[in-house]
Structure 1
Amino acid sequence: MMKQLSLLLILICTCGYILNAQDTSTKRTIVWHDDFEAATLDSTKWIAEIAPQPRSSVYIEKGRLILDTKGGVTVWLNVPLTGNYAIEYDRTVLMDSGVNDRVSDLNQFWAASDPHNANLFTRNGVLESYDSLQLYYVGMGGNTNKTTRFRKYPGTGERTLLQEFTDAMHLLQANKTYHVKTVVENGTTGFWIDGERYFFYTDPNPLRTGYFGLRSTKSRQAIDNVVIYALP
């Protein structure tokens, strides 16, 4: 019941996703949502790529998706996104007594495609294996919680750094649930945490179609209430 109320509040309270801060548009359509109430992860909809390290797994626990890995992991939503859209979810970096617990790497890929292969899902979770993709990437609290970076991968093996923070206000806190929002609209993309815009970029060569992936490395994280909207 509490989860249903939480998801309802997200749907009610998140109004307007045009990147202009003055926008009041509510013209959006839900195209995907998952509150992870199933007993196991649907492997046809969520595709987990996990680095071959011991004590590493992706699973559902108490109505949340858990990324619990010693090495890198990407969990792709097997739904291609195109046009204008917004992605929202809740995410917590867990720190207690877990063997992989570490406050680091609340990361995300979006608008991802493989210019060399029609099948995107061919990698092993190791970060370098994604260098040949085209995508946008945020690494929040990377480098053991020292940097928060926004990059574009153009598909040539480069990781172009677009923006960066190193101050404590833009890094991670253990066991805090963050509300993450990403918007792609008319060649511009932005990334918000708890209603604060961290990154904003108008791309001269925008990535208009691709996949969304939850990304991390050596940590234990919980994800819930994934909602994706189509925007006008």
Structure 2
Amino acid sequence: MPTTRRAFGALAAGAALAALAPTATAHAATRRRRLIAHDDFCHGLGQWATELQGGGTVTASRGTLEIDVPSGATVWFRQRLEGPYLLAYTATPVSEGGVNDRVSDLNNFWNATDVRSPHDLFATPRGGALDEYDHLTTYYAGYGANYNTTTRLRRYVGEPGVRPLVFDYTEPLLVPGEPNRVRIVSDGSMVQWWNNGRLVFDHTDPQPYTSGHFAFRTVWSHFRISGFRVWRLTSKHP
């Protein structure tokens, strides 16, 4: 049975927050880092692949990746990532009266592999509906999902209909127009997802997924994303 936790306080302990730098987690701050991927979103979608369930628009220009969609959407980073790494971005939910401006679902896949084509994620077509991703082995964070009522971490195992829960919270949630400065750490068995300096998910995986693809995932929403960076975590400082 998956472990489900509603209590959040222990994960956001003051000591952990005090050690967090604005651009790194407390753990990653003790490691040497080398930039291995980035996108300033000024030159289109060449580094990204989109899977849209019901249309909408995904654009990258003037420093912003804008996702404005009426249903399910997954935007994959084409470069496969190998841990240990630290990934960062900033995402703002748009609430300006637009038809898709429903504040919900700041979600991510990472270290994703499709068991149907394990050597090439993009060799298997998908259309953006959530159940099409059940064939992935991946971590999946859903921040402010289900009409901005839940925040969950799942560990997909590549089986249809099986999406094991690791953490299940009723907060923290999205705030309209407020930037979310997300940090993801993939370091062996350590799996972390931070938002605005708060440790949201802290999971030790005895059988970790250590490489694969990253994606932004959302449903019927409108986001503006900037500052996408990935650093390789190398040796510790002496």
TM-score, structure 2 as length reference: 0.84
Cα distance in 2, alignment partners of residues 175 and 25 from structure 1: 32
Distance 1:13 1:140, change over 3 A: closer
Amino acid at match of 2:75: V
Could you say which residue in structure 2 is the equivalent of 1:7? Answer: none
Distance 1:133 1:14, change over 3 A: same
Cα distance in 2, alignment partners of residues 221 and 68 from structure 1: 7
Distance 1:17 1:84, change over 3 A: farther
| 1:53-132 pair list within 5 angstroms | 53-54=54-55, 56-117=56-117, 118-121=119-122, 122-132=125-135
Cα distance in 2, alignment partners of residues 187 and 202 from structure 1: 5
| Structure 1 residue ranges without an equivalent (≥5) | 1-11
User: Is 1:18 the counterpart of 2:6 in the alignment?
Assistant: no
Deviation, 1:14, is 2.1
Could you say which residue in structure 2 is the equivalent of 1:27? Answer: 32
> Following superposition, which runs of at least 4 residues in structure 1 exceed 6 angstroms of deviation?
none
Amino acid at match of 2:180: Y
Asked whether the equivalents of residues 22 and 197 of structure 2 are also in contact (C-alpha less than 8 Å), the reply is: no
Could you say which residue in structure 2 is the equivalent of 1:162? Answer: 166
Asked whether the equivalents of residues 24 and 183 of structure 2 are also in contact (C-alpha less than 8 Å), the reply is: no
Deviation, 1:63, is 2.2
User: Is 1:153 the counterpart of 2:156 in the alignment?
Assistant: yes
Asked whether the equivalents of residues 107 and 137 of structure 1 are also in contact (C-alpha less than 8 Å), the reply is: yes
Identity rate, percent: 36
Amino acid at match of 1:176: E
Cα distance in 2, alignment partners of residues 209 and 146 from structure 1: 30
| Structure 2 residue ranges without an equivalent (≥5) | 1-20
| Number of positions where the alignment pairs a residue of Structure 1 with one of Structure 2 | 210
TM-score, structure 1 as length reference: 0.86
Describe the SS at the equivalent of 1:27.
strand
Asked whether the equivalents of residues 25 and 183 of structure 2 are also in contact (C-alpha less than 8 Å), the reply is: no
Distance 1:35 1:83, change over 3 A: same
Could you say which residue in structure 1 is the equivalent of 2:187? Answer: 185
Could you say which residue in structure 2 is the equivalent of 1:36? Answer: 41
Deviations 1:133-169 (A, max 9, x none): 00000001111001000000011221010001103xx
